[in-house]
Amino acid sequence: MFKKILIANRGEIACRVIKTARRMGIATVAVYSDADARAPFVRMADEAVHIGPAPAAQSYLIADTIIAACKATGADAVHPGYGFLSERTSFAQALADEGIAFVGPPVNAIAAMGDKIESKKLAKAAGVNVVPGFVGEIDNTEHAVRISAEIGYPVMMKASAGGGGKGMRLAYTEQDVREGFEAVKREGLNSFGDDRVFIEKFILNPRHIEIQILGDQHGNIVYLNERECSIQRRHQKVVEEAPSPFVTPKMRRAMGEQCVALSRAVGYYSAGTVELIVSGADPTGESFYFLEMNTRLQVEHPVTEAITGIDLVEQMIRVAAGEKLAFAQDDIGIDGWAIENRVYAEDPYRGFLPSTGRLVRYQPPVPGWQDDGAANGRRGIDGVRVDDGVFEGGEVSMFYDPMIAKLITWGETRDEAADKQVAALDAFEIEGLGHNIDFVSAIMQHPRFRSGALTTGFIAEEYPDGFHGAPASDDLRRSLAAMAGFLATARADRARRVDGQLGDRLDPPAAWSVLIDGERFAVELQADLVTVDGTAIGIDMEYTPGDRLVHADIDGDALTVKVDALRTGFHLTTRGASHRVDVLPQRVAPLVAHMIEKIPPDLSKFLICPMPGLLVALHVGPGDSVEAGQPLAVVEAMKMENILRAEKSGTVKLVNASAGDSLAVDAIILEME
């Protein structure tokens, strides 16, 4: 077994590998850029080596620097994690040349399956179903337009070396191809050093299902069931679960055996994932097609670990050390259900724009039940796992992926795992930048998600006008009204007691007028009894003004709420939405109608940069006429290109930026007449 492993990665996956290596008694080495000098994975490792500036192209993607770190520390193996150099054949070969073990598959397998164009040719030759498309290199935009017309719309354009949702564009028309082809080439070149693109037919009502493969160097290969990854945004996975609610035992066996056969054809060992696209329109579930094989550990591997009890990182290390698998296919079962949500630094209320900055507050939910003060009084949840690599006070940088953490829950049933997600997301505290916690909570509660009727179009279909928060039921609004009355009373009582400012005989109001989502409630508190519109509500909670997270038991149901105090009430965030709650004494509430409403300024004539990023392209100049919806500029942030379009027709008056400029959030790019 290895004595020391270097992790050629960063963030949560570096932390994940270090934890398993430590349990196995293996020393670890971290490599880090300038931006990661204070990161948790650097502190967790036994040794750490600085490898360069923040941009990945100057640090994590330089193989020679990482190999030098191996030599300097005496590391006898490298775990690449995912992304960066994990599927770079030249890196794996360079390690082999230096006598350093690569904790991953053989070079020939990476070469065969890492190139999407070549892998499709190989899969087709092996008799595996592949999606109809053009398997070859595309010369230019005109060539792409001709190919797309021959295949038939809609089509998917993909960077050959792409992954992680980058370098992908869905085209429904010729105009989509003309607008998107060059962007796919640029994203492929910038993220993977390869600008080749291929085009294939887009399967209608598609489900994205993948099979986890694990093999050793002695010819043993097994499949560890499937994961459903259909809920995606811009081809980036958001929610993953295992098993799939769509896959039958017969289908699971057919998929698994086919994926094992493909892996065997390329001499595969270590962990890998075969991604499949499945037609949800086929009631038999037999129409599945090979998409690609990821020759590395997947971001979503924890859900497979949760239902099989197999530590995939440990198995990768043991396989790399030459050990045989200790189990066979018949030993692998399915225990319960697991769901993973990716917590991203993006703002779903602003069109999912990337959000960078400092984590002013970061408190993930506590796994397990904590009632002994060990978790500072924070309530834990059984069946919860959080994989992260950030810390309170740290910064989410524009140089890397926007994922903050992965939240994994396990339950005996799918509904139980989803319920635990909702509860854990309510207890997840992030302040300082935008995040998608409300959004993924809303998905967990969505009737369509609960039914299992998923496709890769779920988000676009269910939120066509953007995300505005999860809808609140009548019962939830009444519960929040009761809580608001309780919170307001506690705040008023504290004001009365602090330094005797209001006098000892001035009691807080007992009757409150509470306004939530445009609906007004009459809340009264008498001793331990709370009534909302005359109906008694049983409420058990404690609150001290200044508390950020409040746990309540309302009519027997647990509810966790984030509380932000306002002058006239609170922002209460729970169950996938933030509610402004105005709370006033009932005798004062009628006066609100006489207050002057402040009208926000009209900013529609400005093109404003929605996130910090690089202005890649500017398509118009002063005096140009534009139409509503016309692309005006392209801004790159967190390795993704974002097209900014005109909100309305008009003429460009002034241009305040040039291609190549680094822009701050809310910077004015141009102004219309």
* Residue entry with tokens 């992926």: 401
Paired tokens of 56:
């990945």
Contact 191, 167 (CB under 8 A): yes
Q: How many CB atoms lie within 10 A of CB 410?
A: 22
Tokens of 342: 């990716």
Q: Are 658 and 618 in contact (CB under 8 A)?
A: yes
| C-beta of residue 156 within 8 angstroms of C-beta of residue 199 | yes
Instruction: State the Cα–Cα distance between residues 25 and 1, nearest whole angstrom.
Output: 10
Are 174 and 181 spatial neighbours (Cβ–Cβ below 8 Å)? no
What is the C-alpha to C-alpha distance for residues 123 and 314, in angstroms, rounded to an integer?
A: 29
- Inter-CA distances, 641 with 202, 420, 439, 638, Å: 21, 34, 22, 8
The residues with which 605 forms a beta bridge, in sequence order, are none
**Cβ 237 vs Cβ 346: under 8 Å:** no
C-alpha–C-alpha distance, residues 245 and 234, integer Å? 23
- Does residue 433 contact residue 355 with C-beta atoms inside 8 Å? yes
Reading phi first (left if > 0) and then psi (alpha if -120 to 50, else beta), residue 368 is in: left
* Candidates 187, 241, 275, 292; catalytic one: 292
Query: Are 153 and 147 within 8 A, CB to CB?
Result: no
Rg (CA), the chain: 27
CA distance 290 to 95: 30
Q: Read off the DSSP letter of residue 327.
A: -
226 carries an active-site annotation: no
Burial 316-346 (b: 16+ CB within 10 A, else e): bbbbbeeeebeeeeeebeeebbbbbbbbbbb
Exposed, middle or buried: residue 243 (CB in 10 Å: 0-12, 13-18, 19+)?
A: buried
For the chain, report the end-to-end CA distance as a whole number of angstroms. 69
The residues that are catalytic are 292
